[in-house]
Structure 1
Amino acid sequence: MTRAAAAEYAAHDIRINTLVVGTTRTEMIDQAVDTYPELGTAFVARQMQKRMADPAEIAEAALWLCSDRASFATGSALAVDGGWTAN
């Protein structure tokens, strides 16, 4: 869908990209891990970095995609997932 939308909107100078995110340490995730500690291990089991993302790490990737520094990026899926999709 990302590539199709990018192709459709490129003529209008609109870039379309996707963030593919891993488990991110949010209030909801913290509550789940507090209630079920075994989830903490499960959430990071397939991630190469063996940790959850800080919300700021996801936000920084989104900001980069929205910035002029990513002006030639379109139709891509940027993985910010601790290596989950690389496995």
Structure 2
Amino acid sequence: MRNFKKFQYSVVAGFILVISYIAISVILSNNQYLQQTITDISSILINFTAALCLFYASYKSKIYGKQIQYAWLLLALV
């Protein structure tokens, strides 16, 4: 049940991020330069967060064996 709560929080956070991104895009639709800057910064943050999640998956998969852990670690590094 605890993992399901974490999943629910992750889904809610994802929806909030997507809605925020869409709202910012609509608000800044007249300012192309500022919209491009926000898009560039948000893509860096999204990629950094994805890499952190993959490192966390590597750390947590240690109990399943070294090969699984190294596979997640390789995905994080690529």
| Fold shared by both chains (TM-score > 0.5) | no
Q: Which has the higher strand share?
A: 1
Greater Rg by CA: 2
Tell which has more relative contact order, 1 or 2 (C-alpha 8 A, sep 6+). 1
- Structure 1-normalised TM-score? 0.29
Q: Which has the higher helix share?
A: 2
